[in-house]
């Protein structure tokens, strides 16, 4: 099930197209003046850093450190945000003549945030500790640092705990009346740098601030939009040897305009790779490096680690999915999956992919002895922080925000956590379930999707969280020339046509949809410009393909073939017959999940579709992991891949062992059989073989070596040959219509299970 939701209200701003006005209004912009400010981000739109509470205290402590020749340690985090924050502050302090070092904890040995062992060690090397992108929950560690004689400044953007550490200064956009609440950790460090050295100096570091802002997935609105807009321009023309090398290994050509998408999907993962698989100090060294050769060596190592990260991520993801094969998605509304010694550096990535696949909040835990570390990602509108916080009494460590979190837990508490976490998720559900939703900004006629529009669309960039790339919906679109492209046909390329509009399209990771596009479709997509071999065209990137009733196509030959295959399958089943209830009226369906309507004929599929217009309409296979109510047509029994709780045979029983097969596939299913339809009876008649036809088939097989001359459909010919094979008069080869004759023997046609079935059932 996929609910298509228009998230915007159509709006009009003077001098702007209606679609642009609507998109701007969704971003809180109502006037032309506000629109101009949004479309032209300016440094002057940034707030004074001294509006941050305790900024004056932090600046005073640092300026005093310069006078007293005190040493400062910057205690960072191992993700891109923490790395960039550390480098920004390190550059600033060094520029002020202050002796500063960077300390990044080891993800595997120390975990996230301040720890007492590190604080004790660092107290012998520095007089002042400044945390970046961490520290807001480190009450005990800050107390220890103070006891050991250190002054402590915390800069952290994460959710505030109930009790704040007793630091000398805490810089957080969430404390006090700072006007913008969505800064990342590096942005807070950059604000501190601005307060210390002024805007002219800070602008030389805005590239790192932008890199972190995109990577940390904070909303690209307000100050973040200004930072990223100007920072991307600086990354494009950067003179930093580390960033030049990083862009090169990320496949970004020198001089190419760098986008937020390239930062998010190519540059940031490589910087993150060091912290995920080794030590984040490698990424710090790259960003600080001034030697060209050394920078390229470091970038090459990060690229290698990123490849290893992908391998490790795929390994953990595969193992996690195997563990979830028995997951009861019908009863639970959240996922907790644990494995022995999974690489903790990829847990968040794996949790994100599982959460996206199931559309359930997901926690992935790595078990190491009696201890577990984990990462969590949300789904739908679930506030992950609230759900986990309610279970925090059984965690040894916990932190995060509404969409992502990290935690540690004792192995013995996992079972209790699974149940408690699920209960907390259920409490947040307003509709009783988490329904996958796809949002679109504007319904568009494809005739409007031209170069002028896309160039105007780019004025809304940079895109990211809070300012997503606009999604358009076009209905009743003709999908032309679909073809699978890429390795193993992973992607789908096609042309979309609607009225006079025609646009090239690519649907990534949807190559398997090529056989399920039937008739006109609705599409959700983004628009961009494709430049290839000197040619510039508008291209749509398709996010969702929604089939209508046209997905059900009447194909007598296909229906006949499926019926024969299932008959042969049922006759090969030797298990005890399952007693199933017969039901003459229409299915009685409650709820939105757990029910499958299995339709063998086109007419029945169309009838069910009219009776239940809100149910998913699918063909060939039913493999929805969430078990949303569906109408399945043009499928063999083995096309039922998911453990539905109730399965209706809407055309009636094909064979007495049909329910046995279904119960083998879906043991928990309650199989309900409706009365056999006229259409199924007629299909069976069209492939059944009488005694006279069996004789005729044998004569043709023996004299001509083929049944081609008989005026039968192909499926009936196959049925005849199958019966002759059962009677040991011929031997079928791999090809269903290829055979060799066997010596003639005396036989009774009733010894054939298929002939026996035809004689009694048809």
In which residue are the tokens 């992908």 written? Answer: 310
Token digits of residue 544: 């969702």
Q: What is the pLDDT of residue 734?
A: 76
Mean predicted confidence (pLDDT) in 52-62:
99
Q: Class assignment of domain 552-683?
A: alpha beta
- Per-residue pLDDT at 399 exceeds 90: no
Answer whether 49-205 and 439-546 agree in fold. no
pLDDT digits 0-9 by tens, 388-398:
999 999 999 88
Q: What is the pLDDT of residue 549?
A: 75
Give the neighbor-by-neighbor strand order of the sheet with 169-171: 100-103, 72-75, 128-132, 151-155, 169-171
Are 648 and 631 contacting, i.e. CB atoms less than 8 angstroms apart? Answer: no
Residues facing 564 on adjacent strands: none
What rounded mean pLDDT belongs to the chain?
Answer: 95
What is the spatial distance between Cα 419 and Cα 422, in angstroms, rounded to a whole number? Answer: 5
Q: What is the pLDDT of residue 346?
A: 94
- Per-residue pLDDT at 293 exceeds 70: yes
pTM: 0.84
What is the spatial distance between Cα 172 and Cα 175, in angstroms, rounded to a whole number? Answer: 6
Are 638 and 549 contacting, i.e. CB atoms less than 8 angstroms apart? Answer: no
Pick the CATH number of 49-205 from 3.10.450.710, 3.90.550.10, 3.90.220.20, 3.90.1640.30: 3.90.1640.30
| Helices assigned H by DSSP within 434-512 | 451-457
Token digits of residue 102: 């960077």
- Per-residue pLDDT at 261 exceeds 90: yes
Q: How confident is the model at residue 478 (pLDDT cuts 50, 70, 90)?
A: very high
Q: What is the pLDDT of residue 511?
A: 93
Q: What is the pLDDT of residue 428?
A: 96
pLDDT digits 0-9 by tens, 311-367:
999 999 999 999 999 999 999 999 999 999 999 999 999 999 999 999 999 999 999
What is the CB neighbour count within 10 angstroms for residue 187? 28
What is the spatial distance between Cα 477 and Cα 527, in angstroms, rounded to a whole number? Answer: 16
Mean predicted confidence (pLDDT) in 90-96:
98
Are 157 and 183 contacting, i.e. CB atoms less than 8 angstroms apart? Answer: yes
Say yes or no: domain 327-428 is CATH 3.40.109.10: no
Q: Before 462, cis peptide (omega within 30)?
A: yes
- Per-residue pLDDT at 576 exceeds 70: no
Number of H helices, E strands in the chain: 26, 26
Q: What is the pLDDT of residue 728?
A: 97
Q: What is the pLDDT of residue 200?
A: 97
Domain positions in the chain are 49-205, 327-428, 439-546, 552-683, 688-761
The gap from C-alpha 756 to its chain's centroid, in whole angstroms, comes to 51
What is the spatial distance between Cα 627 and Cα 642, in angstroms, rounded to a whole number? Answer: 7
Q: What is the DSSP letter of 160?
A: P
| Helices assigned H by DSSP within 334-437 | 347-358, 384-389, 414-428
What is the spatial distance between Cα 273 and Cα 150, in angstroms, rounded to a whole number? Answer: 32
Q: Class assignment of domain 439-546?
A: mainly beta
* Residue-level length of the chain: 762
Classify residue 9 as left (phi > 0), alpha (psi -120 to 50) or beta: beta
């Amino acid at each position: 099930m996929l609910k298509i939701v228009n998230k915007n209200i159509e709006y009009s701003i003077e001098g702007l197209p209606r679609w642009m006005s609507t998109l701007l209004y969704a971003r809180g912009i109502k006037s032309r003046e506000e629109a101009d400010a949004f479309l032209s981000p300016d440094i002057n739109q940034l707030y004074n850093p001294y509006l941050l509470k305790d900024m004056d205290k932090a600046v005073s402590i640092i300026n005093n450190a310069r006078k007293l020749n005190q040493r400062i340690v910057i205690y960072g985090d191992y993700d891109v945000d923490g790395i960039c924050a550390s480098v920004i502050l390190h550059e600033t302090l060094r520029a002020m003549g202050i002796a500063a070092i960077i300390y990044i904890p080891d993800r595997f040995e120390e975990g996230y945030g301040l720890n007492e062992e590190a604080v004790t060690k660092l107290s012998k090397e520095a007089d002042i500790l400044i945390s970046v992108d961490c520290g807001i929950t480190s009450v005990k560690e800050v107390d220890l640092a103070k006891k050991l004689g250190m002054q402590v400044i915390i800069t952290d953007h994460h959710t505030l705990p109930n009790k704040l550490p007793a630091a000398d200064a805490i810089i957080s956009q969430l404390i006090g009346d700072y006007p913008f609440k969505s800064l990342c950790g590096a942005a807070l460090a950059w604000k501190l740098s601005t307060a210390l050295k002024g805007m002219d100096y800070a602008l030389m570091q805005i590239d790192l601030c932008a890199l972190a802002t995109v990577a940390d997935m904070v909303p690209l609105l307000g100050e973040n939009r200004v930072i990223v807009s100007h920072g991307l321009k600086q990354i494009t023309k950067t003179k930093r040897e580390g960033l030049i090398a990083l862009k090169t290994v990320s496949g970004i050509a020198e001089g190419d305009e760098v986008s937020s998408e390239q930062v998010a999907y190519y540059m940031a993962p490589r910087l993150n790779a060091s912290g995920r698989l080794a030590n984040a100090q490698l990424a710090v060294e790259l960003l600080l490096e001034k030697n060209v050769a050394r920078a390229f060596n470091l970038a090459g190592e990060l690229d290698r680690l990123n490849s290893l990260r992908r391998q490790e991520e795929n390994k953990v993801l595969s193992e996690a999915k195997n563990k979830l094969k028995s997951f009861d998605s019908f009863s639970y509304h959240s996922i907790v999956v644990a494995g022995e010694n999974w690489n903790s550096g990829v847990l968040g990535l794996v949790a994100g992919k599982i959460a996206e696949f199931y559309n359930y909040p997901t926690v992935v835990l790595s078990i190491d002895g009696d201890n577990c570390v984990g990462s969590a990602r949300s789904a739908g509108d679930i506030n992950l922080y609230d759900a986990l916080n309610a279970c925090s009494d059984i965690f040894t460590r916990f932190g995060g925000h509404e969409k992502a979190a990290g935690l540690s837990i004792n192995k013995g508490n996992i079972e209790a956590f699974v149940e408690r976490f699920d209960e907390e998720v259920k409490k947040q559900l307003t509709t009783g379930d988490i329904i996958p939703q796809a949002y679109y900004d504007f319904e568009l006629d494809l005739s409007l999707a031209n170069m002028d529009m896309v160039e105007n669309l780019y004025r809304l960039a940079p895109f990211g969280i809070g300012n997503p790339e606009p999604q358009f919906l076009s209905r009743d679109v003709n999908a032309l020339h679909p073809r699978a492209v890429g390795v193993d046909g992973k992607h789908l390329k096609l042309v979309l046509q609607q009225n006079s509009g025609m646009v090239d399209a690519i649907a990534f990771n949807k190559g398997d949809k090529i056989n399920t596009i039937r008739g006109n479709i609705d599409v959700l997509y983004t628009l961009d410009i494709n430049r290839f071999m000197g040619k510039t065209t508008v291209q749509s990137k398709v996010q969702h393909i929604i089939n209508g009733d046209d997905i059900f196509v009447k194909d007598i030959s296909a229906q006949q073939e499926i019926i024969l295959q299932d008959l042969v399958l049922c006759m090969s089943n030797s298990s005890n017959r399952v007693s199933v209830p017969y039901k003459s009226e229409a299915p009685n369906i409650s709820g939105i999940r757990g029910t499958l309507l299995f339709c063998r004929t086109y007419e029945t599929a169309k009838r069910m579709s009219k009776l239940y217009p809100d149910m998913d309409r699918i063909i060939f296979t039913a493999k929805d992991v969430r078990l949303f109510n569906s109408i399945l047509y043009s499928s063999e029994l083995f096309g039922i891949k998911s453990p539905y709780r109730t399965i209706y045979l809407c055309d009636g029983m094909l064979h007495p062992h049909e329910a046995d097969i279904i119960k083998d596939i879906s043991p928990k299913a309650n199989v309900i059989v409706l009365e056999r339809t006229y259409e199924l009876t007629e299909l069976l008649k069209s492939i059944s073989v009488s005694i006279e036809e069996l004789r005729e088939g044998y004569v043709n097989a023996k004299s001509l070596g083929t049944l081609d001359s008989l005026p039968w459909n192909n499926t009936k010919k196959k049925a005849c040959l199958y019966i002759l094979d059962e009677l040991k008069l011929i031997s079928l080869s791999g090809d269903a219509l290829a055979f060799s004759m066997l010596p003639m023997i005396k036989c009774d046609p009733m010894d054939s299970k298929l002939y026996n079935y035809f004689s009694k059932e048809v």
